[in-house]
Amino acid sequence: MSAGANALPSFRLDDRIAVVTGASDGIGRALALAFSAAGARVVLFSRRRDRLDAVAADIVAAGGAAEVVAGDVTHAADLARLASATKAAAAGSGRSIVLVNNAGIGFTRPAIETTEEDWDSLFAVHAKATFFCCQAIAPLMIEQGYGKIINMSSTWSESTDAGKVAYSAAKAAITRLTAGLSTEWAPLGVRVNALAPTTTLTDFTARAMTASPERAARLLAKIRLGRYAEPADMVGPAIFLASAASDFVTGHTLFVDGGWHAAS
């Protein structure tokens, strides 16, 4: 799968099946569309079937191919269905598999007000679901002797703020499980890395920033490039990690944060 010593690396994904969780909107939607444009056949997963169908329609209209699997990343049976759909999509195609664990939830809440349900939901969607989705899809990669996993961490995995204690802990767990899985699966040909975005203007985040302008200004001041991220800012780094160009990269968390992490 690696390029020759004198060849330029390829960022094309024509030989890949790209599985994207949380693909119905935000960063997940942007990555799904970009992966398709780069040549991948895409398997879309989230709880919102109507929105997934809309993303799939956009992909097909642009000349791509997409499968839709509606389900919840916290339900083992739904992850099993996702694995089955991925296996079927890859069967006989010779395509390797890329998994992007993008599904997530978030909130800002003081530690003293954070409930057990809050804590459990964050860790269920981020840490637990990321691990078990990797566990469900990795056997397909191991069978092929090659695969790419991209887990969605955050700048909050190595920094924190008032109201971000539980979220930071959940994202830190993703960073550590990424490192652990990379160590275990590297000899089997599976590369496991993470992306760590800063505040990214999805519809959800944009509403949160509008509702709390003082906090929005404080977060913006931490981003040395002077603006919030857009979902499109995650496309280049994700395609790099999904493509053959990053075949010697594993166990790494790539901060896509406009300089936040470097200045922390």
Residue positions annotated with a catalytic role: 167
Q: What is the DSSP string of 118-153?
A: HHHHHHIIIIIHHHHHHHHHHHHHHHHT-EEEEEE-
Q: Which residues of 219-241 are buried (b: 16+ CB within 10 A; e: fewer)?
A: beebbeeeebbebebbbebbbbb
Which residue in the block uniquely carries the two structure tokens 């992490």? 261
Q: Which two tokens stand for residue 256?
A: 């896509």
**Residue 180 main-chain phi, psi, to 5 deg:** -65, -45
Maximum C-alpha span of the chain: 58
Phi first, then psi, for residue 85 (nearest 5°) are -65, -35
Distances in Å between the Cα of 96 and the Cα atoms of 109, 145, 185, 211 are 41, 9, 15, 43
Q: Report whether 21 contacts 100 (CB < 8 A).
A: yes
Phi-psi region of 199 (alpha: psi -120 to 50; beta: other; left: phi over 0): beta
Instruction: Quote the CA–CA distance of 36 and 59 in Å, as a whole number.
Output: 7
Rounded CA-CA distance 69/48 in Å is 10
> Running DSSP on this structure, what letter comes out for residue 229?
B
